[in-house]
Amino acid sequence: MLFGGRIAEEVFMNQMTTGASNDFERATAIARDMVTRYGMTDELGPMVYAENEGEVFLGRSVTKTTSMSEETMRKVDAVIRRIIDEQYSIARKLIEDNKDKMHSMAQALLEWETIDSEQIEDIMAGKPPRPPKDWTPSASKSTPPTPPVSPGGAAATTA
């Protein structure tokens, strides 16, 4: 999920921006925690490899100690890299395989400014989305603003 924005930039706009940097930081932190704190990998097993210790200052640990060898740190980094690469690949395949649905959602958003779960269900089923429940044709058309009324009752004009 965190890679969706960057991949959409690549797939739909053929560019990459810095907008996804925080998403990458978060994805990397999740993968690192999976490996070092939660023991969620076959390669390294159910063991805690790094712990935060020391005084907490402004919500962050001042010191972070590890009891890992250089070799184990390299393994941890390799497993984190594998997780990130695999998940990025899965996200990219999902977006590429569903480009038509993403275009339909974007078109529905341009037309109605919002889409609900029923519209998403229509799009995912390959059908055109129905209008939102509270939508009326006049609600989507912008009407010209009425001129303000002056204190004397006549419409004010601007030069």
Where exactly are the structural domains of the chain? 1-97, 98-140
Neighbouring C-beta atoms of residue 98, cutoff 10 Å: 14
Biggest CA-to-CA distance, the chain: 85
3-state secondary structure of 104: helix
Position 99 scores a pLDDT of 94
Neighbouring C-beta atoms of residue 41, cutoff 10 Å: 19
Query: What are 33-91's pLDDT values in tens digits?
Result: 999 999 898 888 888 887 654 444 555 544 454 577 889 899 999 999 999 999 999 99
What's the average model confidence in pLDDT over 132-151? 58
Query: What are 83-133's pLDDT values in tens digits?
Result: 999 999 999 999 999 999 999 999 999 999 888 999 999 999 999 998 888
Position 80 scores a pLDDT of 96
For the domain with range 1-97, which CATH number is right: 3.40.640.10, 1.10.3470.10, 2.60.120.200, 1.20.58.760?
1.20.58.760
Neighbouring C-beta atoms of residue 36, cutoff 10 Å: 22
